[in-house]
Amino acid sequence: MNPEIFELTLEQQFQMRLIEQSTDDLNRDQLADMLLEVSRLLMVKDNVIRDLLKQNVFV
């Protein structure tokens, strides 16, 4: 597997910088809420990918 596929694209790097800037003014509770929501969304993404693989969509 090509290790470069794990690198962020230029657009993704830009998006990360925007997210970083937008979180600078958040307090601890807001950051905790955001972390929980991001974790939940990553789990949902995992479930979607798992379901698509079960359906052989990527084959």
For residue 53, tell me if it sits in a domain: yes
For residue 9, tell me if it sits in a domain: no
Structural domain that includes position 46: 28-59
For residue 57, tell me if it sits in a domain: yes
Identify the pLDDT of residue 21. Answer: 95
**Coil, strand or helix at 7:** coil
For residue 19, tell me if it sits in a domain: no
Identify the pLDDT of residue 59. Answer: 60
Say how far apart CA 29 and CA 6 lie, in whole Å: 31
Q: Residue holding tokens 């925007």?
A: 18
What does the radius of gyration of the chain's CA atoms come to, in whole angstroms?
Answer: 16
- Non-local CB neighbours of 23 within 8 Å, separated by 6+ positions: 31, 34
Reported pTM: 0.73
| Domains in the chain, number | 1
Residue-wise pLDDT tens for the chain (59 aa)? 787 888 999 999 999 999 999 999 999 999 999 999 999 999 999 999 999 899 987 66
- Non-local CB neighbours of 52 within 8 Å, separated by 6+ positions: 58
